[in-house]
Structure 1
């Protein structure tokens, strides 16, 4: 059984170990332990059999826009709904917060399309995203990721 929960500071070493290979390959941006700690409240973990099997973060850019980033699932747990579960948890949280749209930059756009995201032009991505995150990428400025967005129906009142 897979359980979803918010990350704690004690989870950081296991989270960093899980993502190390994808960071090396340039699939996921590197984040220091301090950066992960600063943003620990944004991380959603998937646990099974007493270990972390995946995680992702819902990063808030503005009252209108959030981003799902650093989504990773352990290779032995892929194709079991773990990633989709993390995304659904992030979208639920975005809705509770009143966010209007959730952005994702990804190499697996079909996965996100199946979850209700639709492709947008990279030119529409907020500049703060480019200059705070994308510039750290080994592929910058020749990015071949797709940009997609999910429109949330925020709860009002």
Structure 2
């Protein structure tokens, strides 16, 4: 039987376990998230569903400390696509969906820390010095057990600058 077309939709509470499991499968690429954290931020997750199964996810977080009071930055995080669907454009669709959600908030920029800069470059992101994201590095990266310092981590800092609303 042929699989249905992947459906991108807002996550719901019933998706929390599947999101948790997807993130947990990628401990070297993604920052772990607890079920509690996922549930508290479920309104900031988008999922890809195929035949009733969650096979992709992405989320975002508002970073008021980066940017301005009227136009803070938003971080794309927890992007995960099941291995069976990688290379199909699903990751791109998930990120575009997240971007469309956050554009309505009029952030100054959307940032990402990634091991796959070429993927984000194709979506319009450009590399930025990690020093521009110091707050993010200190709050999100200093507790990382993988690297001695955020500056030794091979993740690349990238940003997509958006037009500001007056």
- TM-score, normalising length from structure 1? 0.91
Structure 1 runs of 4+ with >4 Å offset: none
1:90-111 deviations in Å (ceiling 9; x for gaps) = 1111211111200000000000
1:138 to partner: Cα distance: 2.3
Q: Please, which runs of 5 or more residues in structure 1 have no aligned partner?
A: none
Any conservation in 1 of the 2:7–2:49 contact (CA below 8 Å)? yes
Q: Please, which runs of 5 or more residues in structure 2 have no aligned partner?
A: 65-70
**Alignment partner of 1:7 is 2:16:** no
1:47 to partner: Cα distance: 1.2
Match of 1:136 among 140, 143, 156: 143
1:136 to partner: Cα distance: 2.7
Q: For the aligned residues, what is the CA RMSD?
A: 1.4
1:39 to partner: Cα distance: 1.2
Q: How many residues align?
A: 153
**Alpha-carbon distance in structure 1 between the residues aligned to 2:162 and 2:102:** 7
**Alpha-carbon distance in structure 2 between the residues aligned to 1:8 and 1:136:** 28
1:17 to partner: Cα distance: 1.4
Residue 107 of structure 2: aligned partner: 99
**Alpha-carbon distance in structure 2 between the residues aligned to 1:147 and 1:84:** 18
Residue 21 of structure 1: aligned partner: 25
Any conservation in 2 of the 1:94–1:152 contact (CA below 8 Å)? no
**Alpha-carbon distance in structure 1 between the residues aligned to 2:137 and 2:84:** 32
Higher relative contact order (CA 8 A, sep 6+): 1
